[in-house]
Every structure is written in structure tokens, then in C-alpha cells.
Chains A and B, each alone.
Chain A
Amino acid sequence: MESPAGPGARSSLTGPQPHETGLDSLQFGEDIQHLISVPPENASSFTALLELPPNQAVELLHSPDSSLRSRNVIEAHQQKPYLEPHFNAANLMFPTNSGLIERAARFSVFAGENLNNITNNSPETSSVPSNSSANLEKVVKSEPAEPESFLNPLQPLVSDPTTVENGAQNQRPVKRKEREKKGKGSTKKSKSSANEKSEDGEKLPYVHVRARRGQATDSHSLAERARREKINARMKLLQELVPGCNKISGTAMVLDEIINHVQSLQRQVEFLSMRLAAVNPAIDFNFDSILAAESGSLMDSNFHSMAMPLMWPEVQVNGNRQNYEQQWQFDALNQLVWGREDDSYNFITPENSLLSYDSSANSASLRSNHLKMEL
């Protein structure tokens, strides 16, 4: 019988680890934790539904084939909602939380896809699972590359060796999609025709999975939807960054604004470098003298304050007009930087901090006072 064998095999898989608490983590938002809070129930019915022998599931889980793996992960997720995403890890978790399992069970696509794959009786649909898994993998592989901690629906599929945080942060792609789907209204029109019981019902009539109303149950569209959501999340960030994009609706217009912004910034860099090139080469000498005097403490943000005292003695010694100009240029640069409080540009502030000049610690403070008065 399947049912008794199921829990037995599952418990063997769980091993000594407690369920639901020792979950490996990936970076997911706290809203995922809502899913975790479903009370655990008896999950044995699910394998009965799937009629998949657990040992076969285990074997599939540990199979080296990567395309199979993702599907197996999803399938194992159906058996056990919490599954550690690392494929090579031996500590697979199989907590008994059938509330989530049943939610997962509603995704006929996964059930159908896995079953199709496993039972090998649907050559025409096999392309779809492979596509979707490829999509999932592709999508999922781009996850670790991102620098920001976005909400990643498909991250569990990546073998992500991140730190083990609290167990509630582990995620499954299926659950995430479930939650996202629930977030959307049920009035979403689906591309494919399948609404209720999927077409998998024809091949495997005992799969009682239900799709959400008005939504496609095709794994293709699920993956696409996940991808689209990711893209939309990032586009929102971009919209906030680029000024004037908040009111615009529509990806194409927003992209227009972004393109304009990037182009204008690049052009500004060109013009500014031209402008700096037009300046007489004195500025370079100044840097040279600063850095020569400084010699190595450039890491200090107040490097200029240290350089200035060293330069002041040169003023008395040297009667050269050119030299004076250089000294004054530096002095005035400092002056400009911390004298210009009325300047509304906020770009002045990094210069303030970087070139801050501690006049009290300097013997030439008198002169700086003159400068201040002058300004």
C-alpha cells in the first residue's frame, strides 16, 4: 500500500532533523512566512493522490540529471512542502504540512508535468515540461547574480549555498507562485484554455488538482508569470530612481525615460571631461603637489587638510607668482568647498567631506580667515 509506505519512507528521509524548523534558507521576503504558518496536517494523502512510490521519488531526487532535478524538486515539494533546495545536500527536509501540500496540489501543472515525465506516457507534452524547467532553471540561475535582495520566486531551485537563517525563510517556487497567484485577482484571463482541471486529468484521471479560476495552469505560463513579476519588481525600482518616471504607466514609456536618462548622463560625462581638459594644466600640478606631500594617506578622507599645512610654508619661501597661483588655487578650492554654504547643489557635500580643512589645527588659520572674509 502506498499510504503506509509513504510516511515510512518519508520519515526515513527526514532523519533526525525536526520538521519545519531546520529549513535551509534562501533570501525571501517575510511575507513568505505566511505560508509557513499553516498548521501541519497529515500529508499521506498526497502521495496517494500522486500514486508515486516514495522510493522512486527519492531516486529521482538524487538523480544527477539537472533537468530532472528541478522537476523532482518540485515534485518532492508536492510531497513535502519544505525542501532544501541544495541538490547535493543530504539533509532533505520532509515536514508534514499538508495544508501547503494541498495548495501545491492545486497546481496541476506540476503534478501533471512530473507525472508525465515519470510515467513517460505523454511525448507530446514532454516538451512543455522541459521548456518550463529550462525556463525555471534559466530564470533561477540569474538569481544569484543579482546584487539586490529582491523577492525571488524561483530561488529555491538554485543550489544556493547561502547562510542558514531561520527555517521560515526557505522557499519553494510553487508556494511562492501560489501566494502570488492568490494576491492577484481571480479575474486574470489566461492564455491557455485550461481553467479548472487541467488537461493532465485526461492522462492521469486520479490527479485531483485545481487551478485558480481564470489562470493558466500551463507550466510555461507560470514560469513566464514569475519572470514577468521579477521584471516588474525591478522596473519599479528603476522608476523610482529615474526622476519623472513615477507617473508614467507602461513599460515602453518608462524604458524611454530610462534610456533618455542614461543618454543624458553619458553625454554629461563627455562634456565635463571636455571642460576639464580645457582647464589649464595647473590643476594637475596641484594634484601632484598634494599627493606628493601627502604620499600615501589618500585613504584618509581628510587628505587635503594634511596636505595644506605642508604647502603653507612654501608660500613664504617662494616668491614666484606661479607658485602663489597654485597655492591660492588650492586654498581657494578649499575655501570654495567649505565656504559655499549657499550653494544648493548637493554635490558640493562630498567635496566638503573629502576636502575638509581643519583650520584650527593649522598655523595658517589667519590666512584662511582672510579668505573667509573675502568670500
Chain B
Amino acid sequence: MRAPQSIKQEFLKKWILGLQLCDFAKQNMSMLERKKAIKLSADIAIASTRNGMTCWSRALVAKASRDYGDKVLVERMLASESEKLKKVSSIGLIAPNKWVIIRSKKILRKSRRARRVRSSVPQSVLAKSIAKKMVKKRTQVLKSLVPGGEFMDDISLIEETLDYIISLRAQVDVMQTLAKATDLLNERAKVQAQVGHLALAAESTASPTARLISDPSEAFFKQTRESPQVTRHQGHRSSS
């Protein structure tokens, strides 16, 4: 099993590269467009950690390359990747005959459903058939969830799901960390701005130690460390 740490590190590196390639300086970037770009770069990054070994990663890249606007970004991101992914992004995933097979299967399934035959079977076999139908329904849903799942048989579907879940978890963890970090940074920036105001205000009236702080970046912390002193000073002054 791959170590989850290594997946996360690889994903983060590739994602950062991708975000760089994304042109965030464009003026017309609404939030939705930004979100799409972020999501796209995250998806391509997590798919490229797989290096084209798994079906879902190739399918993800193929899906992303379908839209021309995203294809450029995809190709740029995958510039240093293995040949498989590059081929997938240029060619696409599935040969046409596979689609024919899938479509014919769907037709068969519909015709079977239309043929409502009341089968008089013993109870045990009936239970089995019901269970089979339930499992079949759920595998259909799973196939629609996992990228590229339509083209896999049951066994490889389960393996792909396994791999996909692991990669998704890594992706979510890294994104969560980044989101929390940026939130905290914004908070700090706000607090710092407020304290900066205080520092400027305090400088005019405060003790000489505060004045020694030449750059406001230190003001934040010096201020907090010495605020008791300052207040004590002020207290002294007021009391005396």
C-alpha cells in the first residue's frame, strides 16, 4: 500500500504547480471560475499521482481534457508526466466500440425490465434474485460515481473504488489543511491590521520602548508583550 503521507505530499506539490499555471490574475475571474480552476487543478493533480496506472485516473484526465478551455491547463500540468497520461489527454479514453457495448447492454436491460414475467420460483431462489438485483443496482450507482467506472467489470470496479477512495481522502485532507491555514492567515492578518492601528496610536503616546520599534511588523508582538507595561505606565501616570 502506498503511504498516505507520500500521496499527500505528491498531491500538494502537483497541485501547487497547477495553481500556479492557472492564471488567477485575470480580471474576469468570478468566484465560480476560480472554484472550477481550483477543482480542476486538484483533480488533475490527484490523478497524476497515480501515474496512469489506474483506470479512474486516466478517465479523470480524459474527462478534463474534453473541454477545450481546460485542456490547455491539463496539458500544461501534465507536461512533465508519463506518456500514458499525455496520450490520454490527447486521445481520450474509450474506443467507440466500448460505447456500443455499453449502449447495447442498456437496451438489453431495459427490454428485460419491460418483460415483466411473473416467475414462479421457490422462495430461496426468489430471495437470491432480489439480493442480486439490489447488488446490481448499487454497482450501477458506484459505476456512475467512480470516474471511468462504466467500462469496468465488477472485480476491477472494486479495486478502482479502493484506490479512488484512498486518493480522494488524501485530496480532501490536503485541501482541508490548506483551507484552514488560509482562514487562520486571514484572521491573523485582520488581527494584525487592528493591532497595527493600535500600535500607531500607541506610538504617539506610549513609552519610549514602543517607539524603538521601527517597522510595524514587530509592532504587533512587541506591543502585545509590553502592553501590560504600557498600561502600567499609563496607570502610573494617571495615579501619580
Q: What residues of chain A have their CB less than 8 Å away from a CB belonging to chain B?
A: 138-139, 142, 145-148, 227, 230-231, 234-235, 237-238, 241-242, 250-252, 255-256, 258-259, 261-263, 265-266, 268-270, 272-281, 283-284, 287-288, 291, 298-299, 301, 315-316, 319, 321, 324-325, 327-329, 332-333, 336-337, 345, 347-351, 353-354, 367, 370-371, 373-374
Indicate whether A263 sits within 8 Å of B145 (C-beta atoms), given known contacts A277-B35, A298-B17.
yes
A274 in contact with B35 (CB, 8 Å): yes
Residue pair A329, B188 in contact (C-beta under 8 Å): yes
Query: B39 and A291: CB pair below 8 A?
Result: no
Q: List 10 A-B contacts (CB under 8 A).
A: A142-B153, A238-B158, A262-B142, A262-B145, A269-B39, A277-B34, A279-B186, A316-B215, A345-B176, A345-B177
Q: Which 5 A-B pairs have the closest CB atoms?
A: A347-B173, A277-B35, A277-B34, A255-B138, A350-B8
- Tell me whether A278 and B31 are in contact (CB under 8 A): yes
B165–A328 touching, CB < 8 Å: no
Residues of A within 8 A of B166 (CB): 241
Q: Which of chain B's residues 146-179 have a Cβ closer than 8 Å to chain A?
A: 146, 153-156, 158-159, 161-166, 168-169, 171-179
Count contacts between A and B, CB distance < 8 Å.
Answer: 185
What chain A residues lie within 8 Å of B224 (beta carbons)?
374
Q: Is B99 at the interface (CB under 8 A from chain A)?
A: no
The reply to whether A353 and B185 form a contact with Cβ atoms under 8 Å apart is no
Residue of B nearest to A146 (CB): B159
B: number of interface residues (CB 8 Å): 69
The answer, yes or no, to whether B207 is at the interface (CB within 8 Å) is no
A337→B215 contact, CB < 8 A: no
A287 to chain B, nearest CB (A): 6
Bound-state Cα–Cα, A301 to B16, Å: 13
Chain B hits for A262, CB < 8 A? 142, 145-146, 161, 164-165, 168
A329 touching B185, Cβ below 8 Å? yes
B168 adjacent to A266 (CB under 8 Å): yes
Q: Pick from A268, A270, A291, A315: contact of B215, CB below 8 A.
A: A315
How far apart are the CA atoms of A350 and B166 in the complex, in Å?
Answer: 15
Once bound together, how far apart are the Cα atoms of A277 and B38, in whole Å?
7
Instruction: Provide the residues of chain A in CB contact with B165, threshold 8 Å.
Output: 238, 241-242, 258, 261-262, 265
Query: Known: A142-B155, A234-B159, A350-B12. Contact between A252 and B131, CB under 8 A?
Result: yes
Residues of the B chain whose Cβ atoms lie less than 8 Å from the Cβ of A259: 138, 141-142, 145
**Which residue from B12, B141, B186 sits with its C-beta under 8 Å from A354?**
B12
CA distance A156 to B9 in the complex (A): 38
In the complex, what's the smallest C-beta–C-beta distance from A234 to chain B, in angstroms?
4
In the assembled complex, the Cα of A139 lies from the Cα of B172 at a distance in Å of 34
**Contact with A315, one of B8, B192, B217 (Cβ below 8 angstroms):** B217
Could you tell me the distance in whole angstroms from the C-beta of B135 to the nearest C-beta in chain A? 5
Residues of B contacting A345 in the complex (Cβ-Cβ under 8 angstroms): 176-177
Chain B residues near A373 (CB, 8 Å)?
Answer: 221, 225
**In the complex, residue of chain A having the shortest beta-carbon distance to the beta carbon of B159:** A146
In the complex, how many angstroms separate the beta carbon of B49 from the nearest chain A beta carbon?
13
Let me know if A327 and B185 touch, CB within 8 A: no
Chain A positions within 8 Å of B5 at CB level: 349-350, 353
With contact pairs A266-B145, A298-B17, A325-B189 given, residues A146 and B156 touching in the complex (Cβ less than 8 Å) = yes
Q: In the complex, which of the residues A147, A269, A350, A353 contacts B168, with contact meaning CB atoms closer than 8 Å? A: A269
Which residue of chain B lies nearest to A267 when distances are taken between CB atoms in the complex? B172
Q: Which residue of A lies closest to B142 (CB)?
A: A259
Taking the complex as formed, is B92 at the interface, i.e. its CB lies under 8 A from any CB of chain A? no
**8 A Cβ contacts from B177-217 to A:** 177-179, 181-186, 188-189, 192-193, 196, 215-217
Question: A351 and B145: CB pair below 8 A?
Answer: no
Are B159 and A287 interface neighbours, CB within 8 A? no
Residues on the B chain within 8 Å of A258, using CB: 142, 161, 165
Which residues of chain B have C-beta atoms less than 8 A from A281's C-beta? 24
Contact for A280 among B42, B53, B186, B225, CB less than 8 A: B186
Among the interface residues B19, B146, B217, which one has the most CB atoms of the partner chain A within 10 A? B217
Indicate whether A321 sits within 8 Å of B196 (C-beta atoms), given known contacts A147-B159, A234-B162, A328-B189: yes
- Residues of chain B within 8 A (CB-CB) of A319 are 215
Could you tell me the distance in whole angstroms from the C-beta of A371 to the nearest C-beta in chain B?
8
Bound: A291/B54 CA distance, A: 30
